[in-house]
């Protein structure tokens, strides 16, 4: 029996789905959405808040401010509520309605940015707004997930070790690239242990993370309009770029098997399947992919036919 006193104390780190029958390639999916925040972002949120508290930057009665496309905002809303802080999430119009409602239900204040910057898009606009909120306000703390070492540290100390404990012989690890906290933390952990697993980053069309042109992205989570400060490409062996329509197709393919995952997970699995089919066809490979989220927050988007028809590049409505 598990008994907890605060929501952050529960986070299942040892659940994997064998996707071989579901997607046709040998792939174990590490499910990170079985916690009260419903995503892997609980790890980063907890480590960043703990670190700020240890350093004395975050003290009782203060307000946390963070830019998020959704999942981190939910995780920080939960932590703020459980620890007695106020929280302001700066997000944008792509954040799902469900995520916004969840943050508000947890007592957070949600600021929705509706106009992107010419350079840097919505992310740049969100960060500008965060800086405005923090200017001259001594009681406001920006954790800054984009440059905070505790973001990567969460996955160096937890996610990476969890994967090696479950699969010591892992040969390929697929990780989605957003802030690159998960990607860098896991990759650095493997390299520091001189493990020879290939690390394959999964990014999306329209993201500039790995040098691609900026473009419209409608599914929150992976990708970015500004190159992540934490990214060290020397730790990445390969990159797969996925279109949003591929993300939708994979999410629905998994749902047809009874697994309702989020957009980030659909992107990662889609990219992993393509890479494995191309580089390890018919091979008995030990491959692991990280599933950052579950699908409840995407019922009005990825799993909504009307929303999908409005995706850029979709055929016109009849």
What pLDDT, in 10s, does the model give residues 261-306? 999 999 999 999 999 999 998 778 999 999 999 999 999 999 999 9
- Residue 53: partners with Cβ closer than 8 Å, 6 or more residues away: 59
pLDDT band at 318 (very low <50, low <70, confident <90, very high): very low
Quick check: 42 pLDDT over 70? Answer: yes
Nearest to 289 by CA among 219, 153, 197: 197
- pLDDT above 70 for 314: no
Q: With 60 as the cut, is the pLDDT of residue 37 above it?
A: yes
74 Cβ contact list (under 8 Å, min separation 6): 37, 38, 39, 41, 99, 102, 103, 106
Q: Class for domain 7-34+148-309, per CATH?
A: alpha beta
- Considering only residues 312 and 187, tell me which one the structure prediction assigns the higher pLDDT: 187
What is the reported pLDDT for 244? 95
Residues of the chain with pLDDT > 70, as a percent, come to: 98
d(CA 106, CA 54): 24
Q: Which phi-psi region, left, alpha or beta, contains residue 119 (left: φ > 0; alpha: ψ -120 to 50)?
A: beta
Q: What is the mean pLDDT of residues 166-180?
A: 97
Per residue in 122-149, pLDDT (tens digit) is 999 999 999 999 997 889 999 999 999 9
Domain ranges of the chain: 7-34+148-309, 41-142
SS3 154: helix
Residues 220-224 have a mean pLDDT of 90
Q: Give the percent of the chain with pLDDT over 90.
A: 89
Query: Rounded to the nearest 5 degrees, what angle is found at the Cα of 198, between the Cα atoms of 194 and 202?
Result: 135
Topology given in CATH for the domain delimited by 41-142: Rossmann fold (3.40.50)
Residue 296: Cβ within 10 Å count: 15
pTM of the complete model: 0.94
Kindly tell me if the per-residue pLDDT of 317 is higher than 90: no
The mean pLDDT of 47-66, rounded to a whole number, is 96
Give the per-residue pLDDT at 313. 62
pLDDT for 136: 74
Question: How far, in Å, CA of 263 to CA of 295, rounded?
Answer: 7
**Whole-number pLDDT of residue 89:** 98
Query: Do 7-34+148-309 and 41-142 agree at the fold level?
Result: yes
* Mean per-residue pLDDT, 139-166: 97
pLDDT band (50, 70, 90) for residue 316: very low
Name the range with the highest mean pLDDT among 8-12, 92-96, 212-216, 259-263: 259-263
């Amino acid at each position: 029996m598990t008994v907890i006193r605060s929501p952050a104390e529960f986070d299942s780190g040892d659940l994997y789905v064998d996707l071989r029958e579901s997607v046709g390639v040998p792939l174990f999916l590490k499910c990170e959405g079985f916690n009260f925040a419903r995503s892997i972002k609980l790890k980063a949120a907890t480590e960043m808040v703990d670190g700020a508290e240890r350093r004395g930057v975050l003290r009782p009665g203060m307000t946390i401010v963070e830019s998020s496309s959704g999942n981190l905002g939910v995780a920080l809303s939960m932590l703020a509520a459980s620890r007695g802080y106020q929280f302001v999430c700066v997000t944008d119009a792509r954040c799902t309605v469900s995520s916004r409602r969840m943050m508000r239900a947890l007592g957070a204040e949600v600021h929705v940015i509706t106009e992107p910057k010419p350079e840097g898009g919505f992310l740049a606009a969100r960060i500008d707004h965060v800086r405005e909120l923090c200017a001259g306000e001594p009681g406001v703390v920006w954790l800054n997930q984009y440059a905070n070492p505790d973001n990567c540290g969460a996955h160096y100390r937890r996610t990476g070790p969890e994967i090696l404990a479950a699969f010591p012989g892992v040969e390929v690890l697929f990780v989605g690239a957003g802030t690159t906290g998960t990607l860098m933390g896991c990759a650095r952990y493997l390299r520091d242990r001189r493990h020879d697993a290939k690390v394959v980053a999964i990014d999306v069309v329209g993201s500039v993370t790995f040098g691609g042109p900026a473009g419209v992205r409608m599914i929150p989570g992976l990708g970015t309009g500004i190159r992540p400060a934490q990214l060290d490409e020397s730790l990445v062996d390969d990159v797969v770029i996925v279109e949003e329509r591929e993300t939708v197709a994979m999410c629905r393919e998994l749902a047809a098997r009874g697994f309702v995952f989020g957009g980030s997970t659909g992107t990662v699995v889609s990219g992993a399947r393509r890479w494995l089919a191309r580089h390890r066809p018919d091979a008995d490979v030990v491959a692991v992919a990280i599933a950052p989220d579950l699908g409840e927050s995407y019922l009005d988007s990825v799993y909504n036919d009307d929303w999908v028809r409005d995706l850029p590049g979709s055929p016109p409505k009849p």
